[in-house]
Amino acid sequence: MQDFMRTFLRRPAGSVGLLLLALVCLLAVLAPLLYPASPWEMAGIPFSRPGENGMLLGSDTLGRDVASGIAHGARVSILIGLASTLTALCIGVPLGCIAGYAGGAVDSAIVRLTEIFQTIPSFVLAILLVAILTPSIGTIILTIGLVSWPQLARLTRAQVKTVSQREFVQAARCQGQSTPSIVLRHVLPNAVSPIIVAGSLTVAAAILIEAALSFMGLGDPNFMSWGYMVGAGRTVIRQAWWMSVFPGIAILLTVVAINLVGEALNDTLNPRISRA
Amino acid sequence: MTAPLLVIENLVLGLPQGADRSRAVDGISLKVDRNEIVCLVGESGSGKSMTAHAILGLLPSKVKALQGEIRFGGRDLIGLAPREMRALRGSNIAMIFQEPLTALNPLAKVGQQVAEAISIHGRISDRDVSARVTELFDQVGLPDPASIGAAYPFQLSGGQRQRVMIAMALANDPQLLIADEPTTALDVTTQRQILDLIVSLQKKRDMGVLFITHDIGVVADIADRVVVLRHGKVVEQGAAAAVLDSPQTDYTRDLLDAVPGRGTIRPAGNEREALLEIKDLRKVFTSRQSFFAEPRRVVAADGVDLVLKRGDTLAVVGESGSGKSTLARMVLRLIEPDGGAIRFDGAAVRAMKGETLRQFRRKVQIVFQDPYASLDPRLKIGESIVRGPMAFGASRAEAVAIATRWLGKVGLGAHALNRFPHEFSGGQRQRICIARALALDPVCLIADEAVSALDVSVQAQVLKLLSDLKAEIGLSMLFITHDLRVAREIADRIVVMQNGRIVEQAPTAELFDAPRADYTQRLLNAVPGRDFFARRALADAV
């Protein structure tokens, strides 16, 4: 484990990514201390430029503090990004694994199921699900997870299919290892790199879907989120760029941080790179 | 005497930092004259391909020529302007690559590809190009040269593709032909044809040929002069007859001695009970290209009958596509046969399920061809080996003890346990695979082309290891190979397969002395360097 951390931190991508992610998390944790007032509260004159009226990043169309919104929104965006990706991974990876390793009728059945999900435009499905389930942070996470798993399942299936043809998997079968042990210890670790990368991209996509849902008015009304801020500021972007740009930068940094961590994780898990 | 065609003088190629050595090629000097074949011999990593690529300026971007000259027709090719180099490539100097499938564009017709090679250099008018292509195809012995130009590479066999490559190389009447292991990926009989073709074309056209190979047999068949390379340095060079018949250095001698198939043949064992019996085994692979197309049928086993006796080694020999690897996998039930019976120690293998099948697989272990693909790259060696015994109830400590013991037996120490596969060479990895198989204490070992991917000297070591282990623990072995020389070295009996059928089955000595089937005869004749090694064996005997 110590070995693992050392290799991870020695990669520039790993340390930079982790640092950025830590900063965003710190912001999320410290939000109530930095901005004790509710981010929904009108704190000053609407359309204040950054730095005016004591507001670091300016105010939005209703005079709410953008900086306060970003701090409070960090919690929701990170929570939604990570939790919904985790949900998608929990559905997609096992299904993909089973389909790819079992093959035959099981494979066809699972592939058909993913195709059903993929033929419905995912955002329309997300709107529908949230509308039915009533918007709350829990249902939003579940919904984003439900619309994001098919790509992960397909990717996992394709990876597992190629890896399980490799000779070392056949060798493991000949060694008498049980099927779950082969899949979990030999196939999955060798199939995982693109899944990690795709997973880190899913985090980004999830934050954006949440943004879009909030923009449609289907976000959780109790929580400020970056997506909501971008959505709300979008209409006046020509007069007041700061309203959407700062939350946009926050989304960008978080996504980059997660991608970097994913990349470093991938390198660390690959002994050919980490031991070089 | 005229000036030599190609002169390489004191060539040094530097590798990027972090490579296993700092110089890929370290001060090589050689020359190629008109109308001669110079063979560059060496094991993998000796720098022979790098030298060839340096001539045409095809080096990877991280490899730099640090010193020396490559002179062709009075010009130094190192540092030649890209434009001038392009004018040379494919016209005065042509190259044939190892893998004919990847060296041809899969989406273009072969005729077009050759025509393109001609028209780029613009020596003849566009109208005459197609006639020239047909003429070339005729010269390289392709069937129906007028119409084969319309074929795509995938429609041709490996040998035909290599002929197309040769036609392309010859398109502009090169003075120098560089052939980089052009027959390594081919079957023995095809290899024989391609070698004959290269030699006859070389004679007809007065070309200089720089032929790169690792196979001393090939060298003995075609070379006028030989350059032996090791670790980027020239070990020995001279006329072929001189170098091969009276090698001056130990390394050349070792290379010659490592070629399999010269040792004494093992006497066929006395009658023993059968361990593995295969009766009338059948398997047909059908694949459908598209929904409406007629499914393609490939017969992998067509009534295969064979018996492996306890303590014997049975070699299954055949060219690629003969169904020998499928046979090995069917024995282990990694592929399900369509029909027939497999009996192991009296028990019907095809009826086995669950725990019985697991116990059976423990007794019959397999070593695969590619030592790079058959070890899990993300697991430490120790972990790969101990999982077998642990799956059969050994505690971790016991399993580690077993793994350590076997690693020791195959000539690797306990320090290997904690390392990853990529830290080992091909030969070492194959030893690890053997240790992994034997850690389960099997009765029978299936070696599926287990030494084919290895250099000759390493091959000799692994073969020796296998026969030592066999003698020590009384293993029975099913040894699958395409190389009759290897089979001769290790087998008690040999089975020759062709297109899923057994064409001959005989004790090793009998098969080599008096082959009955035509096909066996053809395989034997195609073995490279056969005459040379026969002569050598005779000389040794005297």
What would the pLDDT profile of B403-420 be if each residue is shown by its tens digit?
998 888 888 878 888 888
Question: Is residue B320's pLDDT more than 80?
Answer: no
Provide CB contacts within 8 A for B374, sequence distance 6+.
A166, A167, A168, A170, A171, B367, B368, B433
What values do phi and psi take at B445, rounded to 5? -120, 130
| B368 chain-A contacts, CB cut-off 8 A | 167, 170-171
* A186 and chain B in contact, CB less than 8 A: yes
Label residue B56 by pLDDT band (50, 70, 90). confident
* pLDDT score at B57: 84
Query: Mind telling me how many Å the CA of B223 is from chain A's nearest CA?
Result: 38
DSSP string, B201-222: HHHHHT-EEEEEES-HHHHHHH
Least confident span in B5-9, B78-82, B277-281:
B78-82
For B368, nearest residue in chain A (alpha carbons): A167
Cβ pairs bridging A and B (under 8 Å): 79
Is any Cβ of chain B less than 8 angstroms from the Cβ of A166? Answer: yes
Under an 8 A CB cutoff, do B373 and A167 touch? yes
- CB-CB under 8 Å, A175 with B388: yes
Distance CA B356, CA B362 (A): 10
Q: Does A176 touch chain B (CB under 8 A)?
A: yes
Q: What pLDDT is attached to residue A156?
A: 95
Q: What is the pLDDT of residue B19?
A: 66
Mean pLDDT for chain B overall: 84
Q: Which residues of B touch A166 (CB under 8 A)?
A: 373-374
Say yes or no to pLDDT of B267 above 60.
Answer: no
What share of chain B has pLDDT > 70, as a percent?
95
Better-scored residue on pLDDT, B408 or A110: A110
Q: How many CB atoms lie within 10 A of CB A34?
A: 12
Nearest to B373 among A168, A176, A275 (CB): A168
Contact A173 B361 (CB under 8 A): yes
| Contacting residues of A for B365, CB less than 8 Å apart | 174
* Cβ neighbours for B360, distance < 8 A, ≥ 6 positions apart: B344, B347, B349, B352
Asked if residue B481 lies in contact with residue B508, where contact means CB atoms within 8 angstroms, the answer is no
Helices (H) and strands (E) in chain B, counts: 21, 20
pLDDT tens figures, B186-208:
778 888 888 888 898 888 888 89
Is A174's CB within 8 Å of B423's CB? no
- Helix B381-391 × helix B426-438 angle, to 10°: 20
- A263-272, B25-34, B102-111: least confident range: A263-272
Of B377, B379, B392, the CB nearest to A272: B377
Structure tokens at A156: 């996992």
Q: Does A177 touch chain B (CB under 8 A)?
A: yes
Q: Shortest CB distance from B366 goes to which of A174, A186, A189?
A: A174
Spatial distance between the Cα atoms of A245 and A267, rounded to a whole number of angstroms: 33
Query: Which pLDDT belongs to residue B227?
Result: 92
Report pLDDT digits (tens) over B62-95: 888 888 888 888 788 887 888 888 888 888 888 8
Would you state the pLDDT for residue A64?
86
- To probe the interface with B, which of A159, A165, A167 has the most B CB atoms within 10 Å? A167
Res. A215: pLDDT tops 70: yes
> CA-to-CA distance for B460 and B372, rounded, in angstroms?
19
pLDDT top residue among A53 and B494: B494
What stretches of B73-164 adopt beta strand conformation (E)?
75-76, 93-96
Number of neighbouring beta carbons within 10 Å of residue B515: 21
Phi-psi bin for A52: left (phi > 0), alpha (psi -120 to 50), beta? beta
* Of A168-172, B14-18, B348-352, the least confident: B14-18
Spatial contact of B461 and B493, defined as CB atoms under 8 Å apart = no
Chain A CB within 8 Å of residue B152 CB? no
**CB–CB contact B420 A186 (8 Å):** no
B196: contact with A, CB 8 A cutoff = no
pLDDT score recorded for residue B261: 66
Task: Give residue-wise pLDDT tens across range A41-67.
Answer: 877 788 888 887 777 888 888 888 888
pLDDT over 70 at B353, yes or no: yes
Which of A164, A166, A168 is the best mutation test for B, with the most CBs of B within 10 A? A168
Name the minimum distance, in Å, from the CA of A90 to any CA of chain B: 23
Give pLDDT tens digits for A136-191.
889 999 999 999 999 999 999 999 999 988 888 988 888 888 888 889 888 988 88
User: B392 pairs with which residues across the strands?
Assistant: none
| Interface predicted TM-score of the whole assembly (ipTM), two decimals | 0.71
DSSP A65: B
B392 vs A: CB within 8 A = yes
Check residue B89 and report its DSSP letter.
B
| A231 — pLDDT class (breaks 50, 70, 90) | confident
